[in-house]
Each structure stands twice: as structure tokens, then as C-alpha cells.
Structure 1
């Protein structure tokens, strides 16, 4: 009979222990009550179990937070009574008093009685506990006890304590939290169940140690502690914690560690393979003590060498965990969990954006945000981040100039296609993000900028005007920039149009918007630059000069302002010899500011020839330009908004090919180049082939200006080898033939250039000249009138038209054309505007 009773009690104890590990507290209480009724000698154990069950069941529903203190004081009276019974003499004899005191500390902490909690931990002799193997449930109780003791010490203020006492108290808190975090990780490793959670108390303990070290200016100690916790062997129940710790360590490294301050992690002990031995497993797991979590110590473990590697590694690992935990279902019952997982993923993506942009790794954030789309339906923040990243990745790499379309002559055949494709993708994402954020003006400005890069002027202008409408309804800090983008849109639309009335209307709207932009922000050098550029195009040189000076006052190193200053001083009526000298000075100043840019050297050489200087000096400057661009590691010009590194200096001064209408010409050139590469297996082009071709064309132009046709022909041949289907190559080759008197060959070259770029004004004018030299006067008249219609402000167009009309015997019309040429001559600079 006695043996049967003992077996029944043992069966109860086994079932109770299993239920405790599974946190099935309702069953624990029922079994404890049955045990109490069956065996009076286990009454103290039953009291402890009932008190534990009631306490844990309550805390599962109402965590031990400050907001729940009053409720805990009311509803934990039963648990307090049972635990009190377990701490009497019988409880001591039964061996449950120590655990009861530990749970009493947890109960008092939940009720806001921090001093009482510390008293119970003192009675339990928590500080003298020795390390030994503990059951899973006991591990959690001890871990929570150390965590709560540290939290109680943090809550209780000691008035009038010395610095030494405060430091001693902080050391004790850190010790408690470190023990709690180690025991927590060990407990989670032993349970290894996704249903088990650490809970708010243990999670807070895990995060408090690094925070206390940071507060005490011990940054390296905080980093080391994060690394120790992250090197613990992962289990099913530690995944959420690892994501939080990974993100926090990345934040600490991003904010406080740079350069020489950074200390790389050390290789774990035992991770180095002994000579003559082989590792049987990819990863070994080691443990430094009975209360220490197991850690990874594989010989193939990657150890970052600098803060860049560690931050990127942490965030990519964090992103993988966030994506793995993301909730894809859009059902209402999963809304809370979906929002929580999205919030975790968003925090990682924001940090990844900061890190990748800081170190120039845009491709990583773009790929990561594309992966995030599968669980970010309708989430405006993620879409906005993806739009920003896609737009940044679509910016031209050689010369990041958001307000200007890069020259067709300077784009490689393959790279241009990739850039255009990236811009199209960025535009699609920007449109979708703008729909999710109807009041986001900066996002629409970015979309307008992307459209301007693609040559979609009307669509970009529509987005810029939408942004302006938003800012005007709710005035903000972007209002001036909205007017700037609207002005640039009308400026590009004017250049794209072939109708004189439409051109004039767009020019009027452009000036109005740009004037408003400079009125709203007198320190925006970009607005002044664009206004000066517009004035110069309209022939208002005095107004252009005033705006250029304002631009340079706002930013003395503005590349566009320096270039425009040289252009304006080179105009025929701006100052004669003194103006030419000032133009040379402006070009030299630009070269000093931007030694890696090519246009200051070309402008300097062209001005040297125009000013009557030694042609050999101009050619030397041209050769310096060629050496600059031929270097594979040439740096890009840093002034991203006011100028482009590789402007098309041979294109028409107003409707320049770097503007909207160049998109079609660029597509034709790219198509021809792609077909050429598909029909024949040619060698891969050298790096910076397009830039080098541009430099050769500039050098050919300088040779022509100094009357060296043979040298110019050689330069064109070099450029043709690098960019055989560029309209500028055909145009410059036509100039060479014209300089040699080979007008039939020149005519064919100009016609080829126009076939690729129908609105290239210089090619049209030179085609008219070729017709004139061949005696085809009516064709010459037709070509020149077409050029005059495209751009009425070109003096050389009217001068050549007067020459043709005179040869035709139409003297009155010729006189009118000559008068127009004389009137426009002072406004024609020796250098193109762009």
C-alpha cells in the first residue's frame, strides 16, 4: 500500500515538472491541489506550486510593467499567501523556501515593491549561489531573479551617495544583468522551442548591459557584450532576440565607431585548427561554464576586419532574419503580427540605407528593398525608401547631374542602356510611391528629376507642378526648390519644341518660375545659375551676368557659375579684349576648382585661340585634357546639380543635345552600336571609351580652330574608333572635310549626323554651308531657314543665310538677314553655353 502511494506521488511530481517546463500553469495548479489532498507531507511543495502557478498565469496576461502595478497589488494576493506558506519552517525542510523567496522577489517587483524584492533575494542568498546543473524551469527562475535584482537596484535611488558608491552600485547592476543574460540564452538554448519566449523582463536584462556601458562611456565594453550575445548558438526561441541585438549593435557601430576607434572582434578561443588536424564539423560549439551559453567556435567563422564589414554583415544578417519572420498573409487576424514583423524589417532597412549610402554600396539597399516588396503591400515608408534608393542608383555615375541629361557623346554603348533602364525602373517606383504619399512634395520632385534625366520632359514637368501645388497649399521648406524644378522643366520643354510661339511661352514661364525661386531663397546658387542660363539663352547678357554673380556669391565654387562666367565674358559685345582676358581668368579658376573635369581645359584652349594666343599653347591644353580623360581612374566632378562633367560642347548652343531632345539621338546611337556588336565579335571597348572619344573630338575642334586639318582628321579617327556611331563624330568629320575643301564628303557627313540627331543645329547650319559651296543654293537656303526657325538667336545662321540670299539675287532679304546677324553678333559667345 505504501509503495503504491509513493508511486502515485512520484507520478504527480513528474507530471507537474513537465507542465512547469511547458508553462501549463492551470494544470500545475490542479495537480498541486491533488498532490496536497493525497499527501500531507508534500503540503509545502503544493503551496509553492500553487503560488507559482497563480503568479505566472497572471504575469502571462499582465507583464510586470509600471502600468500594471495597481492591478498586480490587487490580484496577486492569493499567490502571495501561498508563497508565504511555502517559506515557513516546513518549506525550509521541504527545500522549496529558496525558490519561494526568488518568486517572492518577482511578485514584489510586479507590485512595485522594490525594496521588499531585494530583501527576499537577500534571504534566498542569491549572490552566493554556486554554478551547477539546473533544470530548465530553475534556470528561468534564477535568470529572472538576477534580472529583477538589477532592475530593482536601478529603480531605487540612493540619496547623497558618493561617486564611489554609485560606481559600486552600477558594477553590481551590470553583474546581475550579465548573469541574467547568460542564463537566459542558456535557458533558450536548452528549451529550443519556438513557442518559448524570454519575456519582457529577461529581454530587458539582455539589453541593459550594453546600455549601461554606453551610459558610462565604455563603448568598447558595450560592443564586446553585444558580440558575446550574438556569438551564442542560435536556437528556435532566440531568433527574435538576435534580430533585436543585431540591429542595436549596428546602430552603436554606425553612431559611435569610426576609423581608429574601431577594434575588430577577436577569433574565438578554440577556433584555430591545430597543425596536422582536420575539422570534422563546420562549426564547433563551446561553453565556458555551467551557466554560460554555448557559442560558435568554428575554424571557418568569418571575422570582419573593419567597421564597414561588420555593420554591413550585421544588417544583411538582420535583413535575412526579418524577411524570414515576415508575415505575408493580408488577413485581418494576422494584422498585429504583420505590423510587428514589418516594423522590425523597416528598422533594419533604414539602418541598411544609412550604411550603404555612407560607403557607396547602393546596389545592396536596392536589392534588399526589392526583396521587401513581397511583404510591403501598401506600406508607404518602404515604397518611399525603395523609390529613393532606385533614384539614387539611376543617377549617372560618371557625372551625377540630376538636373541635366548627360551628353549622348559621353555615354558608353552598354552603360547608357543600363543607366536608362535604371532610370525607367526608378520612375515606375517613384510613381507608385507618390500614389501612396499624396502630400509628399520632395518625392514628386525626385520623380521630376528622374523624368528629366530620361528626357520625359512633359511627365517630369507635371510632377514638378504637382509638388508645387502641394507646397503652395501647405507652405514648406521645399517651395523654392519646386519653383526651380518647374523652371527647369519649362526650360527643357522650350528647347524641345520647334514652334517659336511655344518656345516663347515656355521661356516666359521658365523665367517667371526661376525669378520666384531666387526670391524665396536668395542663397540657392542653383536657382541663380539656371536663371542666368535662361537669360543668356535669350540674349539678355546684363541680366545673365547679374544672376551669375549672385550665383557665385552664394557659392564661389559653383561649376556652372564659373563656366557661365567664362561664356559671358567671351561674348562679342561684353568687353572686348578685357572681356576675353576675364574669360580666360574664369576658365583658369574653374580648372583650379575642378582639376578632374574636362570642360575647363577645353574652354581654356578655345579661349586661348579666340584671344589670339599661341595656338601651340591651346593644343598643349588640349593634350592635357586628353591625358586627363584617358586616365581610367579620373574622378567625377562633385557639383552634382549645376553642371555635368561631360557636356556636349559641339551641340547647338540652345537646344543642346544634353537636353531633352538628345534622348532620341542617344537611343539611335545605342541601337546602331548594339546592332554593330551583334553582327561582329569585336573586342571589348576600353574603360571610359565615351569620355576619351569626347576628348578626341574636343582636341579635333581645337586643331580646326588653329587651322590644322590633318591633325584634326587624326583626332576624329581616334574618336570614331571609340564611338563610331556618334552624331558628333560625323559632324566633326564633316568639319574636317570642309576645312580641306572636300564639300561632297562634308555634305554626306552632315547628313549622317542629322539622320542620327535631327535637331542638331550645328549640323544643319554646316549642311547649309556645304550646299552653298556645292552651288545648291535653294537647298542651302532651306537648311539655313530651318536652322533659324529652330534657334532664331544664332548670329552665324543669319550671316550665312544673308550670304546665300545674296548669291540668289534676293538683295532685300539678304540685307534683312545681315542686319539680324549684326544685331545678334554681340550676344554670341566664343564658347557654347553648355
Structure 2
């Protein structure tokens, strides 16, 4: 009979212990009550188990937080009574009095009685406990006891008369309690494995509290070491979400408070086999420094960051991988809270990764991270906005030097990486817009992307939408919205083929740019585009005033320096020539890696210095371009604004009568392209910066022609043709070379081929008329020059040449009118300067 009773007690104890480890407190209390009824000699143990079960069952439902103190004081009286009974002499003999005091400390903490909680920990002699192997449940009790002790020390302030020594002693005791708790918590989570529901609010608070106290005390390195100690612990199922939080917090600390001078790289943890010189065949070795220390990773091939950049990026990449893995994909209402929590964790890590990666130029990491976030960010406006910003930034990188708000778009060809990146950026921006109905900045960014790609109408639509948003709420981006709207109309005016539409868009652009300047008189970009618009409409004095305002707002603005160079060079007076040269040299000083200051400087040197100086500048330009061939786009490209005068002549008019039949134009275009393609099969693949190099060779050809070096000019044209065989500029310059050699028929053919490719290239049209005049084909010359005059009425050399043709035709009155127009226009226009 006695043997059966002992076996029954043992079975009860086994079942109770199993229920405690599984946190099945209802069953544990029922078994404890049965144990008390069957075995009165285990009454103290039963009292402890009943009190523990009731306390833990309550705390599972109502965590020990400030809002639940009143409820805890009412509902934990029964648990307090049972635990107090377990602290008597019988309880001490049964070995449960110490655990009972620890749980009473936890109970008093839940009730808000912090001093009583500390008294129970003192009675349990918590600080003098021996470090030894403990059961899983005992590990949690001790870990929570240290955590609660630290929290109680924070809540109970010392008297105001206490010395600094006592305050420092209290702070050190508090930090030590949290550190011991964090180590025991990690060890408990490792040993509990998947059977535990998690660390709980108290242990998680303790794990994060010690580093924060170190930071508050100014011991930044101690806080970093504490984070590293916790992150190097062997991971378990229960620590996954906790490790994400710790990794994010350590990354924030490193990003905010650590620089290269004070950074200390983490030390690699070595296993005993490695210390003895023996290689282990296991992939990972888990080492522990004591019975109360968690196991840590110690592998042979363990990666150790060398600087703060590597450590921050590593932490965030690991954190992002965990956040994406734990994301809730289901859109059901029952998972709404879990989905929102996982999304917040992922967003926090992705934002930090964006800050760190963009700071160090690793935009690809941000794009990859945001792409992975797409699978769980349905309808999340913040993620879509971040992705729109990242894709827009990526679209700017591949371009060969696009400027912010360029006067004309860079050439983007379908299928190229730059084209694909731009299309992707615009698609993402359009997808993000409905989620952010009042975000004007996002629409301005999309408009900027459209302008860069040459999609003017789409950009204007987005800019107008942003303007409507800002006007409705009087936002701070109103001036910039007017600027983007004005730039769009400025670009449309330069590209349109209708004179009436061109004048209408020019008027609208000027009005909006003036409004932008009025709202923000310190925006150098607004002044730059206003000056550019004044130049387009021939108001050079106003253009110079706006250029001066632009340079006053930002002295190193590349666009302003470029306009100043062109404006000073528009007159022939010597003092203005020297000022134009000074402006070009200043631009080259500010932007030594840019090619456009050298283009302008060479052209100016040819007029106001010497041909040899201009040739030397042209050679320097070629050397610069060959040096940049394998490099990334220069950083100046993000600061200045560019002109399209080297890429495109946009003057056209569909209303003017064409001098070529459609069939003849098609035939000449086919012939021009076939001539360019004839040498393409033997040519090597297109080199980087091919267009810029070709323009440099054409500049040298023009300089050689003006110095009467026709043979050298022909060689420069051949070099340019090898780089860009289908360029109308190459055919145009080749025609100039033939004209310099009086080879009028070959020159005519070159100019016609150039016009077949680019029907509105004004220089080719004027030179074709001059070639007809030299050939004696006066009526064709008159017709060609009159078409050029209809395309650009303010160009003086067109009327000058037309006057010569009309005089040769025996029409003195018409010739006199053309000559008078040329004299009237010469101070305004003159010979165009390459920009």
C-alpha cells in the first residue's frame, strides 16, 4: 500500500512538472490540489504549485503593466495566500520557500508594490545564488526575478540626500540585474526550444533594457558589446523575433553614435577545439562560458565585420531577411493585427537599410530589399513611396550626364538599361500615386523622370497634378510646382512644330517661371530656367538679369555659368569677349570633369584668342572624354542644367512648305543611313561616351576649318563618323569640309543627307541654300533660305545669305529688305555659339 502511494505521488510530480514546462497552469493547479488531498506531507509543495499556477495563469491574460495594477491587487490575493503559506518552516524544509519568495516578488511587482518585491528578493538572497544547472522552469523564474529586481530599482528612487556614490551603486546594481537576466533568458529560450510560448513581456524588456541604460550613462561601447553578446547567442525558435529587434537597435546605435575613429570591431568567438589547434568537422561549434551563460556561435569560417559600415549593412540585411520571412501574407481580417505588426517590423528595417545603403552608395541593396517587400506590402503607401524614390534615383544613375530638369531630354533608346530603369521608375510612381493622393513631391519626382526621358506630355500632366495639390492646401512646394510646370511647357515649346502652339507654350512657360521666382527668390534652378526661357524668346537683357540672379543664389551653378558664357559671347565687343572667356574658365574650374565648359572655351578662344589655343582646348576635351570612358558619370551632372544645342535642333514648322517631296525625302534618308551602315560591319562595338567623343571630334573639325586646315578637319570628321555613323551632325560637318574645298556637289549631297535624317536641322538648311547659291541654282537657294527663315525668323545669317541670292536674281528691293532684316537682327542673334 505504501509503495502504491509513493508511485502515485511520483506520477503526480511528473505530470505537474510537465504541465509547468508547457505553461499549462490550469492542469497544474488541478494536479496540485489532487496531490494535496492524496499526500498531506506534500502540503507545502502543493501550496507553492497552486499559488504559482494561479499567478502565472493570471499574468498570461493580464501582463504586469501599469494599467493592470488595480486588477492585480484584487485578483491575486488568493495566489498571494498560497505562496505565503509556502514560505513557512515546512516550506523551507520542502525546498520551495526560495522559489515562493521569488514568485512573491513577481506578484508584488504586478500589484505595483515595488518595495515589497525587493524585500522578497532580499529574503531569497537572489544576489548570492550559486550558478549551477537548473531545470527549465527554474531558469525562467530566476531570469524573471533578476529582470523584475532591475525594474523595481528603476521605479524606486533614492532619497534626494543620497550621495553620488549610492546613486552610482544603485545604477550598477540595476544594470547587473538586467545583464544577468538577459543571459538567463537567452539560456532559458535555448533550452526551452519550441515548447515555450516565448520570452514574455518581462524578459523581453530586460533583454533590451541593459544596453539602453549603458547608452543613457554615456557608455556607448558597453551598450554595443551588450548587443553583440546577445546577438551571438545561438538562435532558437523563441528568439527569432527578439533577434530582429536587437539587430535593428544595434544598427541604429552604430549609425547614430559610432564613427571610424571610435569603432571597435567585434571579437571572433573561438571554440575549445580551435583554441587547442584542432579543426572541427562540424559546421558550427556552440560554446558556453558557464552554467548561467547562453551558448554562442563559434565557427571556423565565421564572418567578422571590419568596420561600422560592414556591421550595419550585415545587421540590416539579416534583420530584413528575418522580417520578410515572418511577414504575414494573408489578407484575412483575422490576421489583421499580426499582419500590421509584421509590416511595421519590416518597414522599420527597410527604412534603416535605405538610410545606410544610400549613404554609402549601395542603391542596389535598397532596390532588392524593396522588391522583396512587395510581396507583403499590398496597399502600403509608405513602401510604395520608398520604392518610387529608389527607382527614380536608379533611373538617374545610368544616364550619361542628365541634369536636374534639363532643357531638353537626353536620348534614351528602347531596350537599353537607362530606358528600362526610366520606364520602371515611371510605372512605380504611377502605381504609388493613388495610394498617396496628397503627395505633391512624388508627382514632381515622376514629372522629373518623364522630362529626362523626353515624355513631355506625361511630365506636364504629373506636374499639373502636383500644382493642383499644393494650390489647394497652400503647401511649401508651390514654387517648385510652378517651376516644373514651366519647364514642361518650355520643353514642349522647343519640340512643337506649330508656330502658334510654340508661342502659346512659351508664354505659359514664362508666366509660370516668373511665378516660381516670385514665390521663391532664392531658387537658382528657377532663375536658370527663367533665363533660358528669355533666351528662347530673344529677350537677352532680361536673360542676363535672370542669369545674374541665378549665380547670386548659387555661384557654382553650372547652368548659370553656361548661360553667362553664351550671353557674353552673343556680342562682338572685346570686353564682353573677355567676360565670356572668364565665365567659361570659371565653369571649367568648378566642373573639371565636365566637357561642356571646354566646348564653349574652345569656340570662344578661336574668336578672341588664337586658333592654336582653341585646338589645345579641343585636345584637352578629347583627353578628358577618353579618360572618363570607363568611369561612372561625373558628380557634377546632378548639379548643373544642360542645353540640347549639341544634340538636337528643335526648330521646325509643319506649316511651312517643304522643299522636298515625301518620296525624295524617304529616298535620301535611306541613302544616308545606308552610307553610315556601309562601314558599320567592320567597326568595333560602340564605345562608352561615343556621342560625346564624336561631338568633340566635330568641334575639332570646325576649329580646323576656321584655321584653313581642311585635311585635318576631314580626318576629325572620319573619327566622329566611326563613333556615330548615323548622326546628322557628322554629315553636316562633312558637308562643310567639302564646301571648304569648293566641292559643291559633294557638299550638297552631304547637307541633303543630313536633312533626310533630321529635316529641321537649321544649320544644314542654311548651308544647303548657300551651296545652291555657289552652284548657281538660285531659285532653289531662295526657296531653301526662305524655309530656313520661316523656321527661325530671328537668325541673321539666313537673311544675309538670302539678300545675296535675291541680288543675284536681280531683285534689288527684296534684297534690300532681307539685308535690312539681317542688320536689324544681328545685335540680337548673330552667329550661334555652341553650348
Note the C-alpha offset of 1:138. Answer: 1.0
Task: Indicate the SS of the match to 1:264.
Answer: coil
Partner of 2:828: 827
Displacement after TM superposition at 1:305 (Å) = 1.5
Q: Choose which of 641, 644, 667 in structure 2 pairs with 1:643.
A: 641
Equivalent residues in 2 for 1:345-364, closer than 5 Å? 345-364=346-365
User: Relative to 1, partners in 2 of residues 1:150 and 1:548: Cα closer, same or farther, differing over 3 Å?
Assistant: same
d(CA) in 2 for partners of 1:224 and 1:431? 45
Higher mean C-alpha deviation, range 514-523 or range 268-277:
268-277
Tell me how far 1:811 sits from its aligned partner.
4.6
1:328-369 residue CA offsets vs partner (Å, 9 max, x unmatched): 111111111111111111001111111111011111111211
CA root-mean-square deviation: 2.7
The Cα shift of 1:687 comes to: 4.3
- Identify the residue that residue 311 of structure 2 maps to in structure 1: 310
Q: Tell me, in whole angstroms, the C-alpha distance in 2 between the residues paired with 1:825 and 1:383.
A: 54
1:516 Cα deviation after fit: 0.6
Q: Cα distance 1:110–1:276, how it changes in 2: closer, same or farther (>3 A)?
A: closer
SS in 2 for 1:87: coil
Change in 2 beyond 3 A, CA 1:326/1:597: same
Q: Displacement of 1:677 after TM fit? A: 13
Structure 2 vs 1, CA of residues 705 and 230 (structure 1 numbering), >3 Å: closer, same or farther?
farther
The question of 1:589 aligning with 2:586 is answered yes
Report if aligned partners of 1:403, 1:642 keep a CA contact under 8 Å in 2: no
Aligned partner of 1:24 in structure 2 is: 24
Distance in 1 of aligned mates of 2:341 and 2:683: 54
1:327 maps to what in 2? Answer: 328
- Structure 2 residue aligned with 1:43: 43
The Cα shift of 1:756 comes to 3.9
Q: How has the CA–CA distance of structure 1 residues 779 and 831 changed in structure 2, closer, same or farther, with 3 Å as cutoff?
A: closer
Contact 2:153 2:170 survives alignment (8 Å):
yes
Cα distance, 1:755 vs structure 2: 4.0
* CA–CA separation in structure 1 for the residues paired with 2:15 and 2:681: 80
Distance 1:284 1:775, change over 3 A: farther
CA–CA distance in structure 2, aligned partners of residues 79 and 606 of structure 1: 94
Between the aligned partners of 1:407 and 1:707, the Cα distance in structure 2 is: 35
Query: Separation in 1 of the partners of 2:340 and 2:679?
Result: 50
Within a 5 Å distance, the mapping from 1:512-551 to structure 2 comes to 512-551=511-550
Task: Give the deviation of 1:230 after TM superposition.
Answer: 1.1
Does structure 2 conserve the Cα–Cα contact (< 8 Å) formed by 1:104 and 1:120?
yes
Which residue is equivalent to 1:661? none
Counterpart residue number, 1:444 = 443
Q: Partner residue of 2:613?
A: 617
C-alpha contact (below 8 Å) 1:396/1:406 kept by paired residues: no
Give the structure 1 partner of residue 233 of structure 2: 232
Deviation at 1:486, TM superposition (A): 0.5
Structure 1, residues 399-433: CA drift from partner, whole Å, max 9, x if none? 25131277758x8x89x821121011100000111
Question: Would you say how many aligned residue pairs link Structure 1 and Structure 2?
Answer: 813
Structure-to-structure mapping, 1:657-736, within 5 angstroms: 683-736=684-737
1:493 matches 2:495: no
Query: 2:69 maps to what in 1?
Result: 69
Cα separation, 2, equivalents of 1:768 and 1:59: 95
1:572 and 1:825 in contact (8 A); partners too: no
* Cα offset, 1:219, TM superposition: 1.4
* Unaligned stretches of 5+ residues in structure 1: 656-667
User: Is the partner of 1:49 in helix, strand or coil?
Assistant: helix
Query: How far does residue 60 in structure 1 lie from its aligned partner after superposition?
Result: 1.4
Query: Deviation of residue 737 (structure 1)?
Result: 2.7
Residue 15 in structure 1 maps to residue 15 in structure 2: yes
- Which of 403, 412, 434 is matched with 1:401 structurally? 403
Q: Give the drift of 1:14.
A: 0.9
- CA drift of 1:471 comes to 0.6
1:348-427 equivalent positions in 2, closer than 5 A: 348-397=349-398, 398-404=400-406, 417-427=416-426
**2:659 aligned residue:** none
Q: What is the rounded CA distance, in whole Å, between the counterparts of 2:365 and 2:678 in structure 1? A: 31
1:79 counterpart = 2:75: no
SS in 2 for 1:631: helix
Supply the distance in 1 between the matched residues of 2:607 and 2:393 (Cα, whole angstroms): 40
2:624 maps to which of 625, 628, 632: 628
Q: Shift of residue 695 of structure 1?
A: 2.6
For residues 135 and 813 of structure 1, do their structure 2 counterparts lie closer, same or farther at Cα, with a shift above 3 Å needed? farther
Superimposed CA distance per residue, residues 720-755 of structure 1 (whole angstroms, 9 cap, x where no aligned partner)? 333333333333333333333333333443344444
**Aligned 8 A contact 1:500 1:789 in 2:** no
More displaced stretch, 646-655 vs 153-162? 646-655
Corresponding residue for residue 604 of structure 1: 601
Matched, 1:113 2:97: no
Verify the 8 A CA contact 1:529 1:642 in the aligned structure 2. Answer: no
Distance 1:29 1:782 in 2: 108
Q: Which residue of 1 aligns with 2:176?
A: 175
What secondary structure sits across from 1:190 in the alignment? Answer: helix
Alpha-carbon spacing, 1:384–1:271, altered in 2? closer, same or farther (3 Å): farther
TM-score (norm 2): 0.92
- How far 1:166 sits from its partner (Å)? 2.2
What is residue 664 of structure 1 aligned with on the other side?
none
User: Cα 1:399–1:639, aligned 2, differ >3 Å: closer, same or farther?
Assistant: closer
Rounded to whole Å, the distance in 2 between the matches of 1:262 and 1:681 is 56
- The alpha-carbon distance between structure 1 residues 429 and 4, as it changes in their structure 2 partners (threshold 3 A), is same
- The gaps in structure 2 that reach 5 residues or longer are 653-668
Cα deviation for residue 139 of structure 1 reads 0.9
* Deviation at residue 771 of structure 1 after TM alignment: 3.9
2:576 to 579, 582, 590: 579
C-alpha distance 803-321 of structure 1, shift in aligned 2 (>3 A): farther
Provide the residue aligned with 2:103 in structure 1.
103
Separation (CA, whole Å) in 1 of partners of 2:175 and 2:527: 58
Moved more, 773-782 or 578-587: 773-782
3-state SS, counterpart of residue 261 of structure 2: helix
User: Structure 1 residue 700: deviation in Å?
Assistant: 2.5
- Structure 1 distance, partners of 2:717, 2:274, is 62
Which deviates the most, 708-717 or 750-759?
Answer: 750-759
Report the Cα distance in structure 2 between the residues aligned to 1:750 and 1:147, rounded to whole angstroms: 87
* 8 A contact 1:606–1:831 mirrored in 2: no
With normalisation by structure 1, the TM-score equals 0.92
CA contact (8 A) 1:651 1:762 kept: no
Relative contact order (C-alpha < 8 Å, sep 6+): which is higher?
1
Partner of 1:468: 467
How big is the shift at 1:515? 0.6
- Mark the CA change 1:247 to 1:649 in structure 2 (over 3 Å): closer, same or farther: same
- The CA deviation at 1:193 is 1.1
**Conserved 8 A contact 1:609-1:615:** yes
Alpha-carbon distance between aligned partners in 1 of 2:649 and 2:771, rounded to the nearest angstrom:
18
